[in-house]
A and B are shown apart, each in its own frame.
Chain A
Amino acid sequence: MVKQKIEMLSALGRRARPVVAHGKAHDASRYGNWTRPGTLTRLDPRRNKPQRKEGPPCGAPKRTGPEVVQKPPFRMIRFLGSDQVLRRTILKAATAAAIATTTAFAAHAEIDGPVSYVIPFGPGGESDISARLQQPFFKDKFGQDLVISYQPGGGGAVGWASLNGLSGDGQTIMGVNLPHIIIQPAQKDVGYTTEGINAFYMFHYTPDAIVVKADSPYQTLQDLIDDAKVNPAAVTMSGSGKASANHLAQIKFDNMAGIKTTYVPFKGTGAAVTALLGGQVKAEWGYSTVGAKQGDAVRMLAVAMEERHPLFPDVPTFKELGFDMVGGAYRGIALPDSASDETKALWSSMIGDINADPEFRQKMLDGGFAMLDVDAEGMDAFMQARIEEYLADARAAGLIK
C-alpha cells in the first residue's frame, strides 16, 4: 500500500518534467487532470473518486503557493497547533483520507531551480561523499542542480539548529545523521530537538566495523578479544568523535564481549584512519567505507550488518561471530518543518528514485556504504526504534543521564 502510493507520488510529482523514465505515465495523466491547483479540495479514498468543488480554471503553474491551493482540512488544524508535539500527534492521527489527500496534492509540489543541499559538516566525510554521489543523479533525473554547501560546527548541531529557520519551499534540504540528532539533544540544549527535525528519507548507513592495519597481529575478531582479555584497556581503538556511532559501537561491543578497550576520539573518520595507519592505535572503530577506501592497507575483522557486504565477501558479520550487532551511522535528509506535506512527499519520492537507480546503488556499494530505504511514511517508526536503541546504549554507557 505504502509502496504503491510512493510510486503514484513519484509519477505525479514529475509529470511536468521531460526527463522521466517511469512506467506509471498513465497514472500521471489521469491524476494530472484532477489535481490542478484550486480545483480539488477533498478526496475520499473509500470511493476512490475525487470530489470536485468549483474553483477557478487554471493551467498548471510551476509552483503554487498556499493562496492558490485550498488546504485540505487537516492542514488547517496544523496551523492552529503551534506546538510541535501537538502537531505531530495530529499528523499521526490523520487518517488514510488525509494521506490520500496529500497524495493528490503531491502534484503541486514542484522543485523550481537549483536546490541547496546543506551538509552540516566539513567536506570529505561520509556525509559529503554520499551527497556528492547523489548530485549527478539528481541532475539527471530531475533536471535541477543540487548545490552542496558545508555548514560545519558543533558536530553538526549548528546546521540542525538552523534547519527550521530556513525556507520550507522545498529548495533547501539538509543532511541528517544518526545517532547525532538523537544523542546531541539528549545530552544538552543544542538548539534543536530530535522530534523537531523533519527528516523525510534515510538513504544509507555505514555499518560499524572493526578495522586493523594489514600487518596487525589481529587476524580475527577473536584475536582482538583475546588480547583485550589479557591486557584490559591496553587495546587502543581510534574512532570519530565522542558519543558518536563509533563510540557507541565500542561501548556496546565491549559489553557484549566482556572486554575493556580504550576508545580514542578523533576529529572525523579521516583522522581516525590516519592514526590507525600510522600505528598510533591498535585498531579502529570505523565503518565498512574505511575498508573500501583503504583496500589492502587495512583488514576488517567484522562488520555490523545482517549479511556480509557484497564488496567484502570474506569479512564476517558480528552476527556470524555471535554478537548481535547490526547498525552504524545512518544518514538521511531533512526539510525545514515549515515544508508542506506535499513537498515532503515529493522529496521522499525523488530521493527514493535516486536510491532505486542501479548505477547509484552500485556506486554506493563500491564506496562501502549499505543502502537503506526509509521514506517519509516509515520515518516515524524508524526514528522511534532508533531513539530507543541509541538512548538505551548511551544511557548504559553513561554518556547521557
Chain B
Amino acid sequence: MDFGSFLSALTPLNLAFALLGVVAGTVIGSIPGLTATMAVAVLVPITFSMEPASALILLGAIYTGAIYGGAYAAILLNTPGTPSAIATTFDGYPMAKRGDGDLAVAIACFASVTGGMIGALALLFLAPPLAEVALAFGPVEYFWLAIFGLSLIASLSTGNLIKGLVGGAFGMILSTVGVGEISGDIRLTFGSQTMIGGFGVVGALIGLYCIPVLIDLVAVPDRHLKVEDDIRSVRIGEAFGIAIRSKFNLVRSSVIGTLVGILPGAGGSVAGLVAYSEAKRSAKPGQKFGEGEPDGIMATEAANNATVGGGFIPTLVLGIPGTPPDAVILGALLVQGVRTGPTLFESNGAIVYTFIYGLIIATVLMLPTGLLIGRYAYKSIVSIPKAVLVPSVGFMTIIGTFAIRNSISDVIIMLLLGTFGWVISRFGFAASPIVLGLILGPIAEQGFVQGWIIGDATGNLFGMFFGRPLSQAIIAFTIISLLYPAFTAWRRRRVAT
C-alpha cells in the first residue's frame, strides 16, 4: 500500500473515470431491472484498451454507484432498483410518502458513502485475513445463514407473524421452480418450458414491489408523494445531523455489510436485511421501524455499499468472485492479463493498490454526485404529474424485466406476480417475506443438500449440522433474533406490573 499507488489513483484520468463511473452507476442502478452486474458487463469491452488499474477503477466506481442508485427507486417508488435495496423500501418509502423523500435520499447518500468507505478500508488493510472468512463458511454455514435470514421474517412482520411465514414459505416454493441449481432436476414447471428458468429475483422484485405501487397510484386520487408547501431548499445539514447521531448504527451496519459481502453467494440483499434487522432489534424507544425511521435506511444503505469492498476481498485474494458484478470484473481482469488469486498482491501489487485507492476516491466522489443526482431524482419524481409518472414507470418495469435475459416470458411472469402481489396486499400479506424466501430458499437448499451429502459420507451428520463452531454461533444468533421480540415484550410486561 505504497504512496505511489495512491498518487497514480489521483491522476486526472483516473479521477475522471471514478467520477464518470459513479455517475453512470448511480443512474443505471436507480432504474429497476438494470442491475450493477448488467452495468459492469456492458462496459467491460470499453476497458480493454485501458490500463488495468484505470479499467478497474471505472468498473468499481460503476458498481458502487449502482448499489447506491438502487436506493432512489426504493425510496421514491417503493421498488428496489437493485436487489440490495430491498430493505431500503421499508422505511424509505414511508418517509417519502410523508414528504421527507429528499431527506431520505440524502441520508441514503451519507450512509452509502460511510459503508463504502468502511468496506474499501477493510479491503485495503485486512484483505488477506478476511478472505479466510469466505473459506470458513461451508455448506452448512450457508444453510444456517439462510435460516437466520428467514428468521428475519419474524421481526419484519410485526403483529402479522403467520402471514409473514406464509409469504416466506410461498417465496421458497417459488424459488424451487425450474431447473434445480445443483440437483439438475426440473421441478414444478407443470410441463411448461417458460418456467424452466424459474422466477428471477429481479423480475420478482419489480413485480411484487412496483406493480402494486402503480396500481395504487392509479386507484387513488392523491398525489404520489406528499410535498411540503414550503419546499425546503437543502436538507443536507439535517441528514448529516441524523447520520452523526446514528454513527454507531452506521459502523455496525457497515461491518455487517463487509462481512456478508465477503461470503460468495450471499450478496448485498442479505447484507442489507441482516443490518436492518440488527438496527431494528437495537431500536431505541420511540423509533418506529417500518414507518419511516431514518435508521432503517441508514442500516441498509451502509451495509449494501460495504459489500462492494467486502466482495472484492475474495475476488482479489482468492480469485473467487464475492458477488456477480465481481465475477464480471474478474473476467475483465483476466483479459487484461492480470491473474487474480493468491499471487495477485505480490505480482500485481501496484495495480491492486491503485484500484483500491481508486475505489476509495470513487466512494468519496459519491457524496457530492449522489446528493446532486438524488435531489434531481426527488424533484423530478414529485413534480411529474401522475399521468406521466405511471406510464413511464410502467414502461421502465417492462424494459427492466425484459433486459435481465431478453425474455418476454419474464415480463409476463413479472406482471402476473405483481397483480398477485397487489391482490394479497389487500389481505395483509407483504411482498418482503416472499422476496426473502425467493432469495434465501436456494441458499438454504444448496447448503442443506451439500451438508447432508458430506455429513453422510463422513458418517457424522449431526456433527456436520450442529457441531461446527461457526454453525453454532449462527444458530445462537437465530435463536436470539427469534426470541428477542418475545423477550422485550415479557420485560415490558414485568416493568408494567
Name A residues whose Cβ lies closer than 8 Å to a Cβ of B. Answer: 118, 122-125, 128-129, 132-133, 135-136, 139, 145-155, 157-159, 161-162, 187-191, 233-236, 241-244, 262-267, 270-271, 273-275, 277-281, 292-297, 363, 367
Contacts and interface: CB of A to CB of B under 8 A. Distances in A.
B183 interface: yes
Contact of A363 (B44, B191, B337, B343): B337
B197 A154 contact: yes
Given A236-B458, A278-B136, A280-B139, A151 B405 contact: yes
B372 interface: no
B420 interface: no
Given A132-B331, A150-B405, A367-B334, A190 B196 contact: yes
A242 B196 contact: no
A211 to B, nearest CB: 13
B41 A148 contact: yes
A125 B319 CA distance: 12
A236 B454 contact: yes
Nearest to B48: A136
B335 A280 contact: no
30 contacts: A123-B328, A133-B334, A133-B335, A150-B41, A151-B406, A154-B186, A154-B196, A154-B197, A158-B196, A159-B405, A187-B184, A189-B191, A190-B186, A235-B457, A236-B453, A236-B454, A241-B182, A241-B184, A264-B450, A265-B450, A270-B327, A273-B320, A274-B134, A278-B135, A280-B139, A280-B450, A280-B454, A293-B340, A296-B343, A297-B318
Contact of A161 (B193, B265, B343, B456): B193
Given A148-B41, A266-B182, A274 B264 contact: yes
A123 B37 CA distance: 8
Nearest to A146: B45
B178 interface: yes
A129 B139 CA distance: 26
Contacts of A135: 44-45, 48, 335
B196 A296 contact: no
Contact of B182 (A139, A145, A152, A267): A267
Contacts of B406: 118, 149, 151, 162
Contacts of A162: 406-407
A46 B138 CA distance: 66
Contact of B41 (A123, A161, A190, A278): A123
By secondary structure, the A interface counts as mixed
A132 B44 contact: yes
B45 A153 contact: no
Contacts of B457: 233-236, 262
Interface string B300-331: 00000000000000100011110010111011
A271 B339 CA distance: 18
Contacts of A187: 184, 186
Interface string B75-119: 000000000000000000000000000000000000000000000
Given A124-B331, A133-B334, 6 more contacts: A123-B37, A149-B41, A241-B182, A270-B264, A270-B321, A294-B342
Contact of B183 (A128, A242, A293): A242
Interface string B111-140: 000000000000000000000001111110
B164 interface: no
B149 interface: no
B139 to A, nearest CB: 6
A234 B458 contact: yes
B446 interface: yes
Contacts of B449: 265
Contacts of B335: 132-133, 135-136, 363
Nearest to B454: A236
Contact of B405 (A152, A262, A277, A363): A152
B407 A158 contact: yes
B453 A262 contact: yes
A163 to B, nearest CB: 11
A129 B331 contact: yes
B332 A132 contact: yes
Interface of B: 37, 41-42, 44-45, 48, 134-139, 178-184, 186, 191, 193, 196-198, 200, 264-265, 314, 318-321, 324, 326-328, 330-332, 334-335, 337, 339-343, 405-407, 446, 449-450, 453-454, 456-459
A116 B181 CA distance: 26
B453 A264 contact: yes
Nearest to A150: B41
Nearest to A124: B327
B178 A264 contact: no
A351 B200 CA distance: 32
A361 to B, nearest CB: 14
A132 B334 contact: yes
Contact of A157 (B196, B327, B343, B405): B196
Contact of B184 (A118, A148, A242, A293): A242
Contact of A123 (B324, B405, B407, B446): B324
Nearest to B180: A242
B186 A128 contact: no
Contacts of B180: 242
A266 B265 CA distance: 11
B128 to A, nearest CB: 12
Contacts of B138: 275, 278, 280
Given A145-B45, A297-B342, A274 B198 contact: no
A264 B457 CA distance: 10
A153 B320 contact: no
B135 A274 contact: yes
Contacts of A281: 454
Contacts of B178: 153-154
Contacts of A125: 327
A153 B405 contact: yes
Nearest to B191: A189
A256 B405 CA distance: 41
Contacts of A266: 182, 446, 450
Contacts of B37: 123, 150
Residue among A123, A188, A277, A293 with the highest chain B CB neighbour number at 10 A: A123
A271 to B, nearest CB: 7
A158 B332 CA distance: 25
Given A280-B454, A294-B342, A122 B327 contact: yes
B315 to A, nearest CB: 9
Instruction: Give the residue among A118, A148, A263 with the most B Cβ atoms within 10 A.
Output: A148
A355 to B, nearest CB: 16
Given A122-B327, A124-B328, A133-B335, A191 B182 contact: no
A157 B341 contact: no
Nearest to A261: B457
A122 B135 contact: no
A190 B179 CA distance: 9
A188 B178 CA distance: 12
A165 B48 CA distance: 31
Nearest to A260: B457
Nearest to A134: B335
Contact of A293 (B193, B327, B341): B341
A294 B319 contact: yes
A238 to B, nearest CB: 8
A146 to B, nearest CB: 8
Residue among A263, A267, A279 having the largest count of chain B Cβ atoms under 10 Å: A267
A296 B339 CA distance: 13
A363 B48 CA distance: 14
Closest 8 CB pairs of A and B: A124-B327, A153-B197, A278-B135, A191-B193, A154-B179, A158-B197, A262-B457, A151-B405
B135 A139 contact: no
Contact of A128 (B45, B179, B327): B327
Contacts of B407: 151, 158, 162
Contacts of B196: 153-154, 157-158, 161, 190-191
Nearest to B197: A153
A369 B480 CA distance: 48
A267 B330 contact: no
A145 B197 CA distance: 28
A123 B43 CA distance: 14
